[in-house]
Structure 1
Amino acid sequence: MDTRVNLPKLIGTLRDSEVFRNKTPIGPMTETFAALADSFGIRNGDDAAAIPDGDGYLLLAAEGITASIVRHNPYLAGKCAVLANVNDIYAMGGHPLAMVDVIGTPDDESAREICRGMRDNAARYQVPVVGGHVLRTERDASVALAILGRAKKCITSFDALPGERLVLVTRGNGNWLGDMGFWNCTLPEDDATLVSHLELLPLSAERELVRAGKDVSMAGIAGTALMLAESSRVGVSLDVDAIVPPTGVALAPWLLAFMSYGFLLAVTPGRLAEVLDLFASQGLRAATVGEFHEERRAWLRQGGRRAVLWDFSEKPFVGAPA
């Protein structure tokens, strides 16, 4: 059986996806706030802002949820708001402390369902919602949430180096929600196990096993790899043979999927076995799916074939901070 992937066709699908299109408008915002980053010395463009504080860092992040999810399932939108923010803090090597929300709603029922979703996931991840703001809107409901965390040592988007391996960590057991492009792999776990799996990220940072990485968010594996490479000012290649979707899921949707538990990590070859063993020992799936290189391009490769997914010198993806 021919297992070769049509790389140009796959690249076209990725570049034309809503997931990719939603990321490119970030560029002008990165440029607008560049002067503030220079003034205060806090780099913009990571999963969370790392603010020096004593012997570590305060971490500050915020996430908004796609309008279609809020419209069709406000309860799920509330849960996703907590999930996305908690993952942002753990992706930085931190521990979440507290959250505040901003809800826009045309009716009390939508607000109630959003809050119920936030409440349930806040309890599950053991992070309190300590306040927020409610706006009365004319039509659509909306939800955004901000989170505060703390880290001793950070995993950043800026420190991947040429020669490091790209490692994908996720769970093999989960439910594929194809209509939303969502790999929901947290429901089968009890709450204590879920948190202990997340705690492996700050453990990796504090042991100096990992210095760079990101959570697999709405940009999917492909888009998250692009953002990590662009922010680190390096290139990256993705090995499509190493990226194995769950049974019944095609490669392109899997490369674009948002994961409830998924992280891309940059790992030096000398620490690779230790990192893979750490996550595998907890029943997680950890695999090398690519590597970083000096040439500032992103490639898809299979065997001896490769094709350019993105050329950062020709067009920014989200716009890397200085």
Structure 2
Amino acid sequence: MDLRDIATQLTAHPSIRGKLDIAASTRALALTASTSGRPGDDAAAIARPDGGWDLFAGEGFMPQFVQDDPWFAGWCGVMVNLSDIAAMGGRATALLDAIWAPDAASADPLLKGLRDAAQAYGVPIVGGHTNLRSAELNLAVSVTGRASRLISSFAAQPGDVLIAAIDHRGEYRPRFDNWCAALDAPHDRLRGDYELLPLLAERGLVDAGKDISQGGIVGTALMLAECSRCGFDIDLAAIPLPPGVEIVRWLRTFPSYGFLLSVRPENASEVCAAFAERDISAAVIGKAHAKPEIALARQEDRAIFWDYASSPYLTLSKETAHA
């Protein structure tokens, strides 16, 4: 497929365009990148008086997803929040859930998914909110954590290399572009895989990145670039693919374990090797530059996916103050 066709298809996809809703909320709440907690990061980071950072994040879920696959939605309520904390170079400490359901029987698989994931990852659910008189099943989950050194959406620099670290040992769940590599994994492996991010931060090897969310590789790269006021060229030929998965779907896929890291070139080999030791695919898939755009590249061909100077995405950066 032609690069321009790929870029056009991705730009119009609902999972990527859905992130545009963030800008409406930040304007309504008068939030900027300089607001306490630095909106735009995967978790709010609050400096601790004794050093380090308190982290706080939360996720709300698409109602159709929760209703179609409630047990997996419960599992994801834990998993995606822990990814946000790891993406900040942190370790999760506790979870809170909020559920809505027509009755207790409807809520049971959702709660079981939450419980099973919390046990698997070793992070306790310490409270929340329950409504068993709702017309529909729905879910929101929050998480707290701590970090001694941050990985931030605002720290990417021109000259960095872009590393995609994704667990390929999985498969797609029906109907959605969710790649799940966690359900059959040993619990100690799940916990150790998340521990890798704070370890890399504490070793001074990684200070910029995001977890790959609903916007996939391209949408996440765009959010990282806009926050850091840089751009990325993504080399499609350099992206490792699981067997049988085509590139356009992979570029918009939401993996259960996936991170984009903007890394100083001299640290790239060591970072990739650390993931490889845990059998996680990690490869340099692009380079950072000073242009306000994400572009797709293949050999000598190049096509712009998104120019955030002309079409802001999150409308947050470390320099601007949009409200």
TM-score class, shorter: over 0.9
Helix, strand or coil: the match of 1:173? Answer: coil
RMSD: 1.5
Residue matched to 2:86: 90
Residue matched to 1:232: 228
Helix, strand or coil: the match of 1:249? Answer: coil
**CA 1:208–1:134: 2 relative to 1, 3 Å:** same
For residues 68 and 151 of structure 2, the distance between their equivalents in structure 1, rounded to whole angstroms, comes to: 35
Helix, strand or coil: the match of 1:199? Answer: helix
The 8 Å contact of residues 95 and 123 in structure 2, kept in 1 or not, is answered as yes
The Cα offsets for residues 105-131 of structure 1, whole Å up to 9 and x where unpaired, read as 112122111111000000001000000
**Structure 2 matches for 1:172-187, cutoff 5 A?**
172-177=168-173, 179-187=175-183
| 1:174 partner letter | G
Helix, strand or coil: the match of 2:314? Answer: coil
Residue matched to 1:46: 41
The 8 Å contact of residues 173 and 188 in structure 1, kept in 2 or not, is answered as no
Identity of paired residues, percent? 40
Helix, strand or coil: the match of 2:81? Answer: helix
The 8 Å contact of residues 30 and 45 in structure 1, kept in 2 or not, is answered as no
Q: Of 269, 275, 279, which residue of structure 1 is paired with 2:271?
A: 275
Helix, strand or coil: the match of 2:210? Answer: strand
For residues 216 and 152 of structure 1, the distance between their equivalents in structure 2, rounded to whole angstroms, comes to: 22
The Cα offsets for residues 147-170 of structure 1, whole Å up to 9 and x where unpaired, read as 000000010111000010000011
Residue matched to 2:152: 156
For residues 134 and 185 of structure 2, the distance between their equivalents in structure 1, rounded to whole angstroms, comes to: 39
For residues 177 and 247 of structure 1, the distance between their equivalents in structure 2, rounded to whole angstroms, comes to: 16
For residues 97 and 247 of structure 2, the distance between their equivalents in structure 1, rounded to whole angstroms, comes to: 35
**Structure 2 matches for 1:1-322, cutoff 5 A?**
5-34=1-30, 38=34, 41-53=36-48, 54-177=50-173, 179-321=175-317, 322=320
Structure 2 residues not aligned, in runs of 5+:
none
| 1:101 partner letter | D
The 8 Å contact of residues 233 and 320 in structure 1, kept in 2 or not, is answered as no
- Of 181-190 and 43-52, deviating more is 181-190
| 1:162 partner letter | P
For residues 99 and 211 of structure 2, the distance between their equivalents in structure 1, rounded to whole angstroms, comes to: 24
TM score, norm. by length of structure 1: 0.95
TM score, norm. by length of structure 2: 0.94
- Work out the number of aligned pairs and report it: 317
**CA 1:230–1:35: 2 relative to 1, 3 Å:** closer
Q: CA deviation at 1:178?
A: 5.3
Q: CA deviation at 1:67?
A: 1.1
| 1:46 partner letter | D
Helix, strand or coil: the match of 1:244? Answer: coil
For residues 105 and 133 of structure 1, the distance between their equivalents in structure 2, rounded to whole angstroms, comes to: 11
Helix, strand or coil: the match of 2:240? Answer: coil
